[in-house]
Amino acid sequence: MKVEGRNSVYELLKTDKEIDKILVQKDLGDEASKRLLNIIRSHKIKVQVVDKYVIEKESESKRSQGFIAYVSDYKYFEFEDIIDCAKDKDGFIVILSEITDPHNLGSIIRVCECAGVDGLIIGKDRCASVSDAVMRISEGALNHVKVARVTNINNVIDKLKDEGYWIYGAETGGGDIYKTDLRGKIALVIGGEDSGVKKLTKEKCDGIVSIPMYGKVNSLNASVACGIAVFEALRQRNAKGK
């Protein structure tokens, strides 16, 4: 897997992931690039300084800023890992139901990491998987958030309920999200770009929450909707007890 761009490579260096090598474009003169190169060398990672045309050939995003790191393919966490990391607090989990666009997945990962979500759960079927593009779009956030890939989303919802979680689907036609109590142990289900939350999954939810719409278009991009829902939950949770 390739990790491209200054920010993404910098975030990668904060983790314990094994980095095979990092390509660095020759003659990068800006201060940000010089600082990053010094940090890379302090980690004693193999560095290959190459001409610009080599970077451009290797870059998939064409926005590498002169830095491409090579790491092993993403290793998914287990569902139990996410439960365990939240066992001593009010857990906050996001479940993605058939998010197929890698750009949406990368953006959602970035949103969830910024909000301090304990982990994301995605399905193995009909869902985008972690890829170079997802890593790039997440701007390195993927290095700091747990993502579990499961065979059956509905079974996971049942297990979460057994652990004391309340499950809320983000979908049109539900209750006003700003009037719904999203504190405590919760999991938010974000539906697919075209299909929304599937019928059976929706039936398993304890409640459906909707973002009020005031324009003529009555739907939001999945990553935008996720961002609004996640940060509304975060706002409520930070206000707990005040």
Q: 31-86: per-residue pLDDT in tens?
A: 999 999 999 999 999 999 999 999 999 998 888 999 999 998 888 999 999 999 88
Q: Residue 240 pLDDT more than 70? A: no
Name the residue ranges covered by the structural domains of the chain.
2-71, 79-238
Helix (H) or strand (E) holding 226: helix 222-238
pLDDT at 242: 46
Is pTM beyond 0.75? Reply is yes
Q: CATH: 3.40.718.10, 3.30.1330.30, 3.40.430.10, 3.40.1160.10. Which one for 2-71?
A: 3.30.1330.30
pLDDT at 195: 76
Task: Let me know if domain 79-238 sits in CATH 3.40.430.10.
Answer: no
- 139-196 per-position pLDDT tens digit: 889 989 999 999 999 999 999 999 999 999 998 889 999 999 999 999 999 988 777 8
As a whole number, mean pLDDT of residues 95-107 equals 93
Q: Residue 239 pLDDT more than 80? A: yes
Task: Name the β-bridge partners of 120.
Answer: 94, 147
Helix (H/G/I), strand (E/B), else coil: 4? strand
CB-CB contact of 173 with 208 (8 Å): yes
Give the chain's length: 242
Cα–Cα distance for residue pair 114/121, rounded to 1 Å: 17
